[in-house]
């Protein structure tokens, strides 16, 4: 069984993945800003506060995780968010900075600190949680989509840069998943968040957790580069089949 570090583990895809991989028997190190939630998510896992935008927090978390569970075999970069639907013309820019610092800089802060030990051992795996928003943009989502497109480039470059070191790099890119994602995007407006899924069946966090479990279960010579996971009712960010009542 592997030592798996998972960021953003307190809700949604992160929480579902923590539960699934813990049930698979892996040694889990979970990080989140809402650390109090982690006991309920996976009570037997190592749990620690983590803010991926704060480099000191990242260093403290990774040191504690390694002390608790040993060298890191798998890093799952799950922490991320969308905030608002403002257009470029009507934006204040505050939400832009939050998304860039979390979705891009946060991934870089964590990954660069985990990679050296993987290179030294000649094995390891990095799983990025991307989005179909990185494949196709939409109005009101320019910066969020841009962060996920940038994550694609980072993932591809990381694959090139670690080639020959026995490190696997995968991007799992979901479509619509019924989690707290829309609640966060709409700043706590639960009614508006729920309307995103009107008339269609979205994915659940557990669906993505199953995919991640499959990805890390492959033998060392198998690398799944990019996996796009969509609801049957969705073909693109804007093409969604909705049933009328």
pLDDT tens sequence across 4-22: 999 999 999 999 999 999 9
**Rounded to 5, what percent of the chain is helix, strand, coil?**
45, 15, 40
pLDDT of amino acid 162: 97
Calculate mean pLDDT across residues 209-216.
98
| 169-183 burial code (b ≥16 CB/10 A, e <16) | bbbbbbbbbbbbbbb
pLDDT of amino acid 188: 74
Higher pLDDT, 191 or 44: 44
Tokens of 88: 């470029």
Residue 208 has pLDDT above 80, yes or no: yes
Please tell me the total number of residues recorded for the chain in this structure: 245
Which of 25, 2, 21 lies closest to 211, judged by CA?
21
Residue 149 has pLDDT above 70, yes or no: yes
- Tell me how many degrees the CA angle 87-91-93 measures, rounded to the nearest 5: 125
Return mean pLDDT, the chain. Answer: 94
Q: Give this prediction's pTM.
A: 0.94
Domains defined along the chain, listed by start: 3-229 (3.40.50.720)
| Element housing 19 (H / E) | helix 12-23
pLDDT of amino acid 187: 74
- Residues 187 and 126: their CA atoms lie apart, in Å, by 30
- Residues 9 and 200: their CA atoms lie apart, in Å, by 26
Q: Which residues are the active-site residues? A: 144
pLDDT of amino acid 86: 83
Calculate mean pLDDT across residues 55-81.
97
Calculate mean pLDDT across residues 42-51.
95
Residue 33 has pLDDT above 90, yes or no: yes
pLDDT tens sequence across 73-98: 999 999 999 888 888 888 788 889 99
Four-residue CA torsion sign, 163, 74, 209, 82: negative
Residue 245 has pLDDT above 80, yes or no: no
Query: pLDDT confidence of 119, banded at 50, 70, 90?
Result: very high
pLDDT of amino acid 158: 98
Calculate mean pLDDT across residues 105-126.
98
pLDDT of amino acid 74: 98
Calculate mean pLDDT across residues 174-190.
81
């Amino acid at each position: 069984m592997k030592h798996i570090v998972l960021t953003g583990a307190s809700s949604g895809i992160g929480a579902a993945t923590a539960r699934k991989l813990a049930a698979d028997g892996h040694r889990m190190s979970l990080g989140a800003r809402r650390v109090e939630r982690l006991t309920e998510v996976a009570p037997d896992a190592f749990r620690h506060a983590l803010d991926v935008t704060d480099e000191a927090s990242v260093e403290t978390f990774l040191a504690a995780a390694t002390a608790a569970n040993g060298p890191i075999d798998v890093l799952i970069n799950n922490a991320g968010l969308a905030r608002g639907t403002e257009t470029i013309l009507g934006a204040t820019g505050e939400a832009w900075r939050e998304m860039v610092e979390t979705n891009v800089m946060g991934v870089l802060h964590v990954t660069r600190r985990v990679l050296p030990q993987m290179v030294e051992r000649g094995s390891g795996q990095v799983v990025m949680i991307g989005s179909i928003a990185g494949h196709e943009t939409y109005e009101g989502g320019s910066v969020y989509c841009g962060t996920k497109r940038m994550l694609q480039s980072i993932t591809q470059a990381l694959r090139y840069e670690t080639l020959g070191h026995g490190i696997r790099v995968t991007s799992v890119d979901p479509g619509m998943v019924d989690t707290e994602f829309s609640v966060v995007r709409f700043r706590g407006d639960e009614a508006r968040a729920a309307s995103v899924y009107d008339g269609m069946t979205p994915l659940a966090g557990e669906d993505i957790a199953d995919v991640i479990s499959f990805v890390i279960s492959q033998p060392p010579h198998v690398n799944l580069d990019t996996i796009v996971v969509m609801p049957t009712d969705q073909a693109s960010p804007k093409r969604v089949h909705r049933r009328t009542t």
